[in-house]
Amino acid sequence: MVDIGKLETFLRAAETLNFSETAKQLHISQPTVSRHIQMLEKSMGVVLFTRTNTGLQLTEAGRLLLPWARRLLHDTNSMQAVMASIQGDVVGELRITCSTTAGKYVLPQMAARFCQLYPGVRVRILACTPEDVTLRLLEGEAHIGVLSREILDAGLESQEFFRDTITLVVPADHRWAFRKVIEPGELLEEPLIIREETSGTRRVVLSELAKYDIGLDDLDIFMELGNAEAIVRTVAAGYGIAFVSKLAMACPLERGNIVDLGVEGLNLNRTIYMARKAGSSPHRPRDAFWGFIHAPENVDLIHLPEQES
0.75 surpassed by pTM: no
Which architecture, in CATH terms, is 4-85?
Orthogonal Bundle (1.10)
Give the whole-number percent of the chain exceeding pLDDT 90: 43
Q: What is the CATH number of domain 164-269?
A: 3.40.190.10
Parse the chain into domains and list their residue ranges. Answer: 4-85, 92-163+270-307, 164-269
Q: Is there a contact between 99 and 148 (Cβ–Cβ < 8 Å)?
A: yes
The predicted-structure confidence for 79-130, as pLDDT tens digits, reads as follows 665 665 565 678 888 999 998 877 788 999 999 999 999 998 989 888 787 7
Cα–Cα distance, 188 to 196 (Å, whole number): 19
What CATH number labels 92-163+270-307? Answer: 3.40.190.10
**Among residues 71, 74, 48, 43, which one has the least CA distance to residue 59?**
48
* Whole-number pLDDT of residue 249: 73
Q: What is the tens place of the pLDDT at every residue in 189-202?
A: 899 999 988 888 99
Per CATH, 92-163+270-307 and 164-269 having the same topology is answered: yes
Residues of the chain falling short of pLDDT 50:
252-253, 309
What does the pLDDT read at residue 213? 95
How high is the pLDDT of residue 309? 47
